[in-house]
A and B are shown apart, each in its own frame.
Chain A
Amino acid sequence: MLDMKVREDRWVRAAQVARRSGADVGLVEQVLFLQTLPPWERLARGIGRSRLGKVSRA
């Protein structure tokens, strides 16, 4: 349930950023998620996704 709340809040925030910046809301949501990770985890996902397909996103 906590996970759902985190996602919900992130989408609300993403919608606000998208409205202000003109960026795509789905892209903004991903940026906001990546913002919560250390850089090396972002890289791991970027490389992991290209090699292993989709990686689940909490």
Chain B
Amino acid sequence: MPDQIAGMTAEEVELLRSLVGDGIRFMVVGMSAAILQKVPGVTQDIDLWFARGQSDELSVACRKAGATYYWRAVPPGIAGPGIDQIDVVWHCHGLGDFEEEYARSEEVEMAPGLFVRVLPLERILVSKRAAGRPKDKAVLPMLRDAIKALKDLRGRGED
């Protein structure tokens, strides 16, 4: 299956494979993480929350995928040909620090054979509630109901 079908460009998938392959510690957060976990939402980008203190390793992993990690900007980011949906996140409103949240993260196969950590739905709900922008508030009922439904399905062994 071509990587483009995954909703990402081949370059973006390659970048994620490079990050995972190099052992960079990150997790997918925000609506893309919710969508990966069966929430029927929409998003325009993929937010990646990185652990601090790995800028050098992150630069190397990005270069291997033909991308650049630019760290002298506020906020820092990742750019390169074919990479326009990846956003770098260093903090999530209402949540604990990276280590605390990473310990609760779950594994999802984001593209065939590409396993990444994602922020659990309950924590996405907390972060959206804390962020409080109109676009965050708009998705709260959807997140709440998806959590309820999935909890019910899990309780019955159907998820």
Instruction: Point out residues on A near B: beta carbons under 8 Å.
Output: 17-18, 20-24, 27-28, 30-31, 33-35, 38-51
B42 lies within 8 A of chain A by Cβ: yes
What DSSP secondary structure best describes chain A's contact surface? Answer: helix
Chain B interface size, under 10 / 10 to 19 / 20 to 34 / 35 or more: 35 or more
Number of A-B contacts (CB under 8 A): 94
A40 to B7, CA, bound (A): 7
B110 lies within 8 A of chain A by Cβ: yes
User: When A21-B151, A23-B149, A28-B145 are in contact, do A46 and B7 touch as well, CB less than 8 Å?
Assistant: yes
Contact B36 A31 (CB under 8 A): no
A32 to B59, CA, bound (A): 39
Shortest C-beta distance, A50 to chain B (Å), equals: 4
Shortest C-beta distance, B63 to chain A (Å), equals: 25
User: When A23-B145, A31-B149 are in contact, do A46 and B109 touch as well, CB less than 8 Å?
Assistant: no
Contact A23 B110 (CB under 8 A): no
